[in-house]
Structures are given as C-alpha cells and as structure tokens.
Homo-oligomer: A and B are copies of this chain.
Amino acid sequence: MTSTPLDGTESAYAYPLLIRQLLLTPLAVNPEQQIVYRDRTRYTYRTLRDRIGRLASALREIGIGPGDTVAIMDWDSNRYLESYFAVPMMGAVLMTVNVRLPPEQIAYTLNHSRAKALLVNAEFMPVFDAVRAHFDCPDRLVLLEDDSAFTLPADFVGEYESLLAAASPDYAFADFDENTRATTFYTTGTTGQPKGVYFSHRQLVLHTLALATALSSAPQEGRIHRDDVYMPMTPMFHVHAWGMPYVATLLGLKQVYPGRYAPETLIDLLKREQVTFSHGVPTLMHMVLSSPAAANVDLNGWKVIVGGSALPRGLARAAVERGIDIFTGYGMSETCPILTLAQHKSSMPDDAERDLDIRTKTGLPIPLVDLRVVDTSINDVAHDGKSTGEIVARAPWLTQGYVGDAAASEALWRGGYLHTSDIGVIDSEGYLQVTDRIKDVIKTGGEWVSSLELEDLISRHPAVSEVAVICVKDVKWGERPVPLIVLKPGEQADQEQMLVHLKGFAARGVISRFAVPDRVVFVDSIDKTSVGKIDKKRLRARYQSA
C-alpha cells in the first residue's frame, strides 16, 4: 500500500479522541443543565466539570498518576459519573468493580487489575471487609458516603466529599495518545476466573458517537433527543452502563442517578424528575412494571432499551400497553457494549404484533459495526431468517483481548472477528435475532432446539410471569429442554396446559415437534447472575434431575 499519509504543519493540532472532549459541547451549549443523585444532590454540568477537576486533583494528591488503576465500588451516582471522566482524563484507568460477585472473585479482579486506589461506598463495607481478607488491598482507600455523619474506617485516606472540597478544580488535563487505556472490568464466563476486558479513550469516544447517531436518528420509536431526561437502570459497573452516561453527557441531557436499584425509588425518581430515557435488563423492567408503586404512574412516553438478555414478548407487550417505547439493545462486556438496536425501520407497518416482532428482535447494527452471522469457516450464512451461525463482529470499540490471557484473547479474535459465542439468524430485512448461546444449545434427537425461542413462546401464555428453559441430559434423546416457569401472582396453570400451549405452536410449524418439552417445572423464582441475567449454569446444576 503506497497511499499518501496525511501530515500537518508544525503548529496544527492533531486532535486525539479523548474522553475529555466529550465535555466540550455540553459545557459550551448547556452548562446549566442538571445532574441529579436521588434526593441527595443536584448540580449543573458546570459543577460536574469543576468536580471532575477536583476529583483528579484529589487522586493526584493521594499518589495516583497516569497509568495507575483506580477501582470503584458504588451504586449509580454522580460520583460514579465523575469517575467515568476524571480517572481516564488523568491518563489513569478506571476499574469498575462488579459488586455482585462473591468476595473471593472481587478480590481476584482487584488484584489482577493491580488497582492502586479503591473508592468504596459505605454500604459495601461488609463486602469490602470480606474482600480484604483475600489479598493485599490497595493502600489508598476512599470512602463514598451519602450520610454526612460517618466514621472514617481505619486505613482509609479520606471521604470523597471532604477530599474534593480540599482539592483544586483546576487540574490541567493534558493530551495523550488516544489509544491509552481508559477503563477495565471483569466478565464472568462459564468456566474459570473472571476475565478482564479493556477499552481506550478512542474506543469510548467512537462508541459514544456511533450510539448517539443510531439512537437519535430513529424517525420515531427508540429515539433519543436533547430534551430527554436520562436515568440508568443498568449498574454503572456493568459495561459502562451500556455507554449511555457518555451519550447523555455528550448530548447535554438532564441526568438522574438512582443509587441502589429499588423499584419504588426508580418509579419515584421517574415521576419526580420526569425521566424519559432508561435502559435495563428484562428482570429489572419486570420488577418495575409489576411493582405496586407503578400501578398509578403514567409511564407513557418512557423510552427503555432492554438488554443483557432477550426481551420476552410478554414483557414487551406489557410495557407497550403502558405506553412505554421498549426495545432491545444487544452487546456484551467484550463489545463496550452496543452492537445492535431493535429500532423500527421507516417501512415498518403499523401493526401491533409486527411492532412487537421488531421490538423483541436483537436489532440492526449501529453505524460502523460490521456484523456477520457465519459458519465455522467464517463464511456468511444466508440472510433468510432461518440459517443459523455464530454472530461475529468488527467495530472500532471492541476489546482487543483479555488482560493477561493470550489463549482466550486469540480464541475471542480468531480469524480477525470478535466471536460473540451467540448463535443467531439475520432476516431479509437485516434484523439480527439471537437464537441461542453456543454453550446453551440443546441438541435433541439430532435436532437443534432454541431455548430462547421456547422461552419466548412460553412467555406468551397469559399465566406466565417468567421462564427459563434449560438443557438436561436425556438417555434417549441426548438432551431435552426443560422449562422452569414462574406463574403470575394469583394465576394458575398446570403442566398439561403449558404443553398444549406449546403443541399449538408445533402444530402451526412455528417450532419443530422435537422442541416441545416432555415436562415443565413450576418454580417460585429463577436464579440470576450478578448482573441480573438468568443463571443457566446454576439452574442446570440445580434442576438437572428435577
């Protein structure tokens, strides 16, 4: 390749893509816009900028510099937002601790990331004490405390607000290489210890721009705009809260951070702060909708991206009936995370069932995403809505490997595409649909059965509140699907009714007759992972012989 490289005159500014620059527009256009933390704090973007400077100064004061890792254990708060900016803007790396992991694993991830400082919400002190027992804890500990009356634990260098109050807002944020690592966090796989993924300033800026473009350019449904009020319902330790705090900041939105998630708090904030845009896992959305507190609240016009797991049709229907513009987003820890959004195309018919079809699809790729469904030789399968393969992708914001795990990194990127381990189909309209996880496929009598499709069909039964289909070993068929079903309060249904419901779909050719289970199991609740996904690993272990 003999193309002409671009070179500039000596004084020309070769603009690096840094997280700092996401603040330029909101500060120039909307400096008085509000950021709200529950009923505790309310301040402007101007103050956000000031506090970002103070946080960086305070961290420098305790010995943090470029290249160091700063870990944080907090609920969703303005402090978390400040750390999203201040830590990477110093050239340091923000490590967002998954507070739902067992203490041993939290210790492992802190240790593995070489965290030099740790910011801990006082509510996590019991967890933190359990974590400490497992390793040499960083000696720079900062307490995050909502209550002004508190005792600083031994060994802590200070409390967040006091440190900020004592620090200068005028930290001189320098330019540096846009490929500098900005964030890192750990993803739990099916086997072994959690694996660290990592993202650069360039990657986060590009994810922000592409996601903002995709969300805002939608004609009507699934659209964000600068009058929206943003509140996350995804923990901020979970893949940058899907990158949305960066998008909300770039667009200068009013932002509302709800602290620990309780349906009543969320609904109260939703109403009081006039929230219009959120995102969360299906389980949380389910909790919010079925909360008594939501019964008399007008949810009309609330826009919610659902991800982390497939959006069940039953949940989508319940949300749409409340006037909620609910739709699927897809991605994972390795992908920053957004790859697709289940937005309507302009040509979509105005039909309620078709509308739900679209909202519950996995979605259309957002700008710059090269998304493919491929066979084992990385050849595209047909886009006919039937041919399955693994979903692989290229985008400017995918982790370039796992920290310190060369074999897993190469497996993730084999053939130059990131392998999602999800199985999917692309239909003739270009919509992706995840049909299964590679490790969660059920092969029965030589036929593949999609547990996700079965879950979707079972969720359509009016008595069903939640469902998870697991794979159990079977002497005759190799494997068989077993649905675990939670009924709605006050509803009744027996196994026979469920099987008749499914046989109806088989009779109409929606699923194969092999896919109809032999039995179902009614349960009181379904186990979830630390990030709220259905924990199929645990469910399999628990119900293997149920």
Contact = CB atoms under 8 A, between A and B. Distances in A.
Contacts of A367: 22, 24-25, 209, 212, 250
A22 B368 CA distance: 6
A274 interface: no
Interface in A418-456: 418, 430
A400 B28 contact: no
A13 interface: yes
B213 A216 contact: yes
Contact of A212 (B1, B213, B406): B213
B13 A364 contact: no
B213 A224 contact: no
A224 B415 CA distance: 38
A412 B174 contact: no
A67 B2 contact: yes
B226 A218 contact: yes
A406 B8 CA distance: 10
A255 B201 CA distance: 34
Contacts of A30: 345, 430
A395 B67 contact: no
Contacts of A198: 6
A366 interface: yes
A91 B3 contact: yes
A179 B5 contact: yes
Nearest to A25: B367
Given A11-B415, A21-B370, A217-B225, A66 B3 contact: yes
Interface in A361-401: 364-371, 394-396, 398, 400-401
Q: What is the count of identical protomers in the complex?
A: 2
A371 B8 CA distance: 20
B225 A24 contact: no
A414 interface: yes
Interface string A137-148: 000000000000
Contacts of A28: 364-365, 371, 430
Contact of A1 (B25, B176, B346, B398): B176
Contacts of A209: 206, 209-210, 213, 367
A91 B17 CA distance: 23
A210 B28 CA distance: 15
Contact of A9 (B6, B10, B218, B400): B400
A250 B366 CA distance: 10
A304 B213 CA distance: 20
A357 interface: no
Contacts of A6: 179-181, 198, 200, 203, 400
Contacts of A218: 225-226
Interface in A1-43: 1-15, 17, 21-22, 24-25, 28-31
A159 to B, nearest CB: 28
- The residue in A4, A224, A418 that gathers the most chain B C-beta atoms within 10 A of its C-beta is A4
Contacts of A1: 66, 91, 174, 176-177
A7 B65 contact: no
B401 A226 contact: no
Interface in A153-206: 174, 176-177, 179-181, 198, 200, 203, 205-206
Given A3-B180, A21-B370, A67-B2, A414 B217 contact: no
B401 A25 contact: no
Nearest to A211: B213
Nearest to A198: B6
A369 B1 CA distance: 32
Given A11-B410, A22-B367, A24-B370, 15 more contacts: A1-B174, A3-B177, A4-B67, A5-B179, A7-B400, A9-B413, A12-B409, A15-B394, A25-B365, A28-B365, A29-B430, A209-B367, A217-B224, A218-B226, A226-B345
10 contacts: A4-B93, A6-B180, A6-B203, A7-B400, A8-B401, A10-B413, A12-B398, A28-B371, A29-B430, A219-B227
Interface of A: 1-15, 17, 21-22, 24-25, 28-31, 65-67, 91-93, 174, 176-177, 179-181, 198, 200, 203, 205-206, 209-210, 212-213, 216-219, 223-227, 250-251, 345-346, 364-371, 394-396, 398, 400-401, 406, 409-410, 412-418, 430
* 6 closest A-B pairs by CB: A8-B400, A9-B409, A9-B401, A3-B91, A216-B217, A216-B216
